[in-house]
Amino acid sequence: MTLNIEDAVNETCPWSGKPVSADSLTTYRGHVVGFCNPGCRDKFDAATQAFDAAIPDGDVAGG
């Protein structure tokens, strides 16, 4: 699946505040999320996987 920067839900990296880059996109809960570089993207993927594994399905507030 090809991810497009135009589909990202954000314009700035949540870790650094810098503009998102087309080579640093991922999906989270069905949405494209952008980061300034692949390192920030990979850090996000690792963090969300850890939290998703720790929180039982349906227990996410506002989700």
Let me know if residue 31 belongs to a domain. yes
Let me know if residue 60 belongs to a domain. no
- Residue 1 has a pLDDT of 77
Let me know if residue 27 belongs to a domain. yes
Residue showing tokens 């349906």: 58
Number of structural domains the chain divides into:
1
User: Which residue range(s) make up the domain with 19?
Assistant: 5-50
Let me know if residue 59 belongs to a domain. no
- Residue 57 has a pLDDT of 72
- Residue 59 has a pLDDT of 57
- Alpha-carbon distances of 46 from 6, 23, 51, rounded to whole Å: 24, 17, 9
Do residues 38 and 23 lie in contact, with contact meaning Cβ atoms separated by under 8 Å? yes
38: tokens are: 């692949």
- Residue 52 has a pLDDT of 87
Let me know if residue 55 belongs to a domain. no
Let me know if residue 17 belongs to a domain. yes
- Alpha-carbon distances of 55 from 1, 20, 31, 49, rounded to whole Å: 27, 28, 19, 10
pLDDT tens for the chain, 63 residues long, are 799 999 999 999 999 999 999 999 999 999 999 999 999 999 999 999 998 899 887 555 554
Let me know if residue 15 belongs to a domain. yes
Let me know if residue 43 belongs to a domain. yes
